Amino acid sequence: MVPELQLYDSKSGRTAASQPAPPPGTLPIALWCARQGRPVHPLAPRRKTPPANCRDCRRPGHSHHQCPCIRGGHWCHGFHAATVDADRLRGWWAQQPGFGVGIACGPAGLVVVDVDAHKTPLPDRDRLLPGIPIPPSVSLRGLEHGFHSLALLAALRGAEDPARDVSTLRVRTPSGGPHIWYAAGPGQAWRCSSGSSPGRAPAWQVDVRAHRGYIIAPGTRTTTGVCRALGPVRRPAALPSWIAVELARTGHRPAPPARRNVAPRVPQRAGEAVPAVGGGSRLEQATLATVLAPVLACAAVAEGAGFNDKLNRAAYTVGGLVAAGHLVAAEAEAALLAAAVHMRPEKEDRARRIVQSGMNAGSRRPLRLGDGG
């Protein structure tokens, strides 16, 4: 179950559980987030950024990995210092009661869709929905900001517009754009696109806050206003599968850490090598490349390539690899769907059914690397 994020009601002076009113300021928000397992770090008063590091931590070449400040309980290095230790949080806020509250998305298991509502000139068509061509015959009249590009992406995928998703926690920022909170699946660590190149963003003026990123907690005030939760829902819903597909397609899956059980990045064309998967062997890499190659080869043929059958066979094989412990199920499914959507974007719903059915069937027969199939 995803923990619920409770907020302090300033009008009644009580929490949703009718507890006594906490002290003023943002410390109660920080403590509640920490109690729910969401690591917290301070934000500079009335700002959206962490407070400055100490003088030693600002030296060129200094890294948070060996920083004595973090080990000593200080707030240097922003989200790297995030904690659920209530005593440490009280100590930080005692030094600066005006701190805002930041939540480290990765350790908190969050994937937050950040929509920009600023009206700016439209980009080139190939940057509106990166990786999805928009023919010149399609009118872009009326598209002004991230609300519109996100709605366009959702409509293209036959899905609900996340900005209107009342099943999950949504937070309106002072600029008017929402932060749409979702819970990542077990073992998923999606990569951020905020602050990176436009090529990784899932849509124009739409970024993602996830692993190695942070989000501002509701109730935090900046110079331009307060971040406020929209509607009654106070918990992030599970990340919709279609958004997971888009994240995989646009490069939001992280580089493999130094461990096994991580699905590979989806190659973008037939014959492209599959990168190393943690400590996997050469045989494992070759097997994964072989699994995906027939699906990716369909890119060269519009029809008559046996795409559905090849996708089903790949899903069956991946299901066996998952059952044998070589891949994480959620990430493997996202990899298959990303490959399928890349090859046949107009058949996403059908591809999703094929992948799920094939993986379910394959999971009943664990596949060891080197098995003859």
Output the pLDDT for position 24. Answer: 52
**Whose structure tokens read 């130094």?**
258
User: Please, which residues have CB within 8 angstroms of residue 33's CB and are 6 or more apart in sequence?
Assistant: 5, 40, 101, 103, 217
Which CATH architecture describes the domain 108-208+218-247?
2-Layer Sandwich (3.30)
Output the pLDDT for position 343. Answer: 67
Output the pLDDT for position 117. Answer: 85
Output the pLDDT for position 269. Answer: 45
Output the pLDDT for position 147. Answer: 92
Output the pLDDT for position 52. Answer: 81
pLDDT in tens, 205-226: 999 999 889 999 998 998 888 9
Q: Which residues pair with 43 in a beta bridge?
A: 100
**Neighbour-count burial of 17, counting CB atoms closer than 10 A to its CB (0-12 exposed, 13-18 middle, 19+ buried):** exposed
Output the pLDDT for position 150. Answer: 93
Q: Which two tokens stand for residue 206?
A: 């739409």
Query: What HEC string does the chain produce?
Result: CCCCCCCCECCCCECCCCCCCCCCCCHHHHHHHHHCCCCEEEECCECCCCCCCCCHHHCCCCCHHHCHHHHCCCCCCHHHHCECCHHHHHHHHHHCCCCEEEEEHHHHCEEEEEECCCCCCCCCHHHHCCCCCCCCCCCCCCCCCHHHHHHHHHHHCCCCCHHHCCCCCEEECCCCCEEEEEECCCCCCCECCCCCCHHHCCECCEEEECECCEEECCCCEECCEECEEECCCCCCEECCHHHHHHHHHCCCCCCCCCCCCCCCCCCCCCCCCCCCCCCCCHHHHHHHHHHHHHHHHHHHCCCCCCHHHHHHHHHHHHHHHHHCCCCCHHHHHHHHHHHHHHHCHHHHHHHHHHHHHHHHHHCCCCCCCCCCC
Output the pLDDT for position 301. Answer: 53
Output the pLDDT for position 72. Answer: 77
Q: Which residues pair with 155 in a beta bridge?
A: none
Output the pLDDT for position 195. Answer: 46
Cα 373 from Cα 370, distance rounded (Å): 8
Q: Which pTM was predicted?
A: 0.64
Domain ranges of the chain: 108-208+218-247, 258-362
Cα 362 from Cα 199, distance rounded (Å): 34
Output the pLDDT for position 148. Answer: 92
Closest CA to 263 of 242, 230, 287: 287
In this prediction, the residues of the chain whose per-residue pLDDT falls under 50 are: 1-23, 195-197, 256-285, 372-373
| Residue type (1 letter), 63 | S
